């Protein structure tokens, strides 16, 4: 995970997930993207997919990206208030941001 800030504000970032060979990157004003299986392809053959956050108005549709080591009663309380029971445990903060 690496990022570039200008005047204390984020302008670009990159996160690589070696276990599944996915690279996520974003540039301010240009969007966010994902490259899957980039190591197994020639640079010109890599498929770059633009990714987007999905607007959610129904809190039951929220998916909590939880931590193996930081789940506690406070998290459970927030999830109950949101009426959300969907959870995915992911180890890295960088991966959580990309998902």
Helices (H), 1-99: 73-82, 93-98
Please state the rounded mean pLDDT for residues 9-34. 91
For residue 26, what pLDDT band results from cuts at 50, 70 and 90?
very high
pTM of the model: 0.63
How far is the CA of 65 from the CAs of 2, 12, 14, in angstroms? 20, 22, 19
C-alpha distances (whole Å) from 9 to each of 33, 39, 65 are 20, 31, 24
Predicted local distance difference test score (pLDDT) of residue 4: 93
CB 91 within 8 A of CB 18: no
Q: Which two tokens stand for residue 3?
A: 């990022």
Q: Is 98 a residue whose pLDDT tops 60? A: no
């Amino acid at each position: 995970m690496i990022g570039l800030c200008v005047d204390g504000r984020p302008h670009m970032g990159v996160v690589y997930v070696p276990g599944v060979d996915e690279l996520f990157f974003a540039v301010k004003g240009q969007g966010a993207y994902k490259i899957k299986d980039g190591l197994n392809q020639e640079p010109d053959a890599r498929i770059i997919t633009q990714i987007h956050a999905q607007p959610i108005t129904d809190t039951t549709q929220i998916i909590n990206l939880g931590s193996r080591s930081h789940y506690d009663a406070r998290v459970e309380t927030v999830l109950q208030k949101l009426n959300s029971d969907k959870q995915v445990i992911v180890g890295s903060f960088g991966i959580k941001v990309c998902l």
